[in-house]
A = this chain, B = another copy of it.
Amino acid sequence: MNIAVLGTGMVGQAIAGRLHGLGHSVVVGTRDPQATLARTEADQMGNPPFSAWHSAHPGVVLASFADAAVGADLVVNASSGAATLDVLGLAGADNLAGKVLVDIANPLDFSAGFPPTLFVKDTDSLGEQVQRAFPRAKVVKVLNTLNASLMVEPKSLGESSTVFVSGEDPAAKAIVVEILESFGHDDVIDLGGIETARGTEMLLPIWLRLMGALGTAQFNFKVVR
């Protein structure tokens, strides 16, 4: 499949690398490819610059958001929650129309420090905002409830755990579930329409506190039933 991954951070790298490894044709989208490749410093979290990752993944193409999206069958939003609507606007509504739009972003607000709060919640969600802003895209909210490495290698936990899908289009969700299974996910719960993204986005406050209490981000929720 031709897949665009919008965002060059840890999530974008993890998703793009895994999809490319599985044989998909992957283009990573960024605001300014030359500027992205020119950065040589680590990011705020201490992660190495994208150029280092790109050198190790020469088969993945880097392009502008719009150039990445235009040729894709499926688009992954791996940008930050705060940047999401801007990034998707740059990708272009026409370039997203009719396509599966996988939304991994969380509406985290770091303006008051750590842990962040949520800039949309409870009566609305970022997933719904994305679907309203791009009504011709088939938005599927998924993978926003675990860290980047576990998103794409869930079996590294050594035990089955759960991921959730939310979206209005059953066929789009089926395509996403197939990708999730190719990553190793064996317990996918379809929560229902995109409104249910409120539930998964509001998992972040406990996720952040669990990371503090456990001293690691290598954990995930399993719905035992």
A binding-site residues for B, Cβ under 8 Å: 117-118, 121-123, 157, 159-161, 164, 189-192, 196, 198-200, 202-203, 205-210, 212-214, 216, 218-225
**Given A117-B123, A199-B205, 15 more contacts at CB 8 Å?**
A122-B205, A157-B224, A157-B225, A160-B224, A189-B214, A198-B205, A199-B207, A199-B210, A202-B202, A210-B223, A214-B223, A219-B223, A219-B224, A220-B224, A222-B223
Q: Is the CB of A224 within 8 A of B222?
A: yes
> In the assembled complex, which residues on chain B have CB atoms less than 8 Å from the CB atom of A198?
205, 209
CA distance A205 to B202 in the complex (A): 7
Residue of B nearest to A190 (CB): B213
Which B residues touch A122, using CB under 8 A? 117-118, 121, 205
Smallest Cβ-Cβ distance to A208: which chain B residue: B199
In the bound complex, residues from chain B placing their C-beta under 8 Å from that of A216 are 225
**Most chain B CB inside 10 Å of its own CB: which residue of A121, A202, A208:** A202
Contact B199 A209 (CB under 8 A): yes
C-alpha spacing A120/B200, complex, angstroms: 18
In the complex, the answer to whether A206 meets B210 with C-beta atoms within 8 Å is no
Q: Which residues of B contact A121 (CB under 8 A)?
A: 121-122, 202
Contact (Cβ within 8 A) B225 A223:
no
CB-CB < 8 A to A159: which residues of B? 224
Known: A117-B122, A122-B118, A123-B117. A196 touches B209 (CB 8 A): yes
Q: Which 7 pairs from chain A and chain B are nearest by CB?
A: A199-B206, A219-B225, A222-B222, A199-B209, A161-B224, A199-B205, A202-B202
CB proximity of A200 to chain B, nearest CB, Å = 6
Pair A191/B210 contact, Cβ less than 8 Å? yes
Question: Within the assembled complex, what's the spacing in Å between the Cα atoms of A214 and B196?
Answer: 13
Identify which of A208, A220, A224 gathers the most chain B CB atoms within 10 Å of its CB. Answer: A224
User: Once bound together, how far apart are the Cα atoms of A209 and B192, in whole Å?
Assistant: 8
Looking at the complex, which one of B117, B161, B203, B209 makes contact with A206 (CB distance below 8 Å)?
A: B203
Q: Which of B160, B189, B212, B214 contacts A210 (CB 8 A)?
A: B189
Once the chains bind, are B225 and A214 in contact (CB under 8 Å)? Answer: yes
Q: Which residue of the partner chain B has the closest CB to A112?
A: B123
